[in-house]
Amino acid sequence: MNVCMVGYGMMGVWHSEALLREGAGLHTVVGRRPEAAREFAERFGYKK
């Protein structure tokens, strides 16, 4: 399963951590601030 995360705040962190534990494919992050979304994607290993 590939996942797209909308937002990178605390809920995004919690959901990403849970999805990683379950082995989901973290694919895309979107948010209002592109630089913050890029940093979040790098932190959790999202593809985009």
Is the CB of residue 19 less than 8 Å from the CB of residue 3?
yes
Buried b (16+ CB within 10 A) or exposed e, 3-15: bebebbeeebeeb
Per-residue DSSP letter, 24: -
Instruction: Note the pLDDT of residue 1.
Output: 83
CA 5 vs. chain centroid, Å, equals 5
Give mean pLDDT in consecutive 10-residue pieces for the chain, a chain of 48 residues: 94 96 96 96 94
- Give the amino acid at 13: V
Single pTM value for the model: 0.87
Per-residue DSSP letter, 22: T
Beta bridge partners of 25: 2
Instruction: Note the pLDDT of residue 32.
Output: 96
Instruction: Note the pLDDT of residue 48.
Output: 76
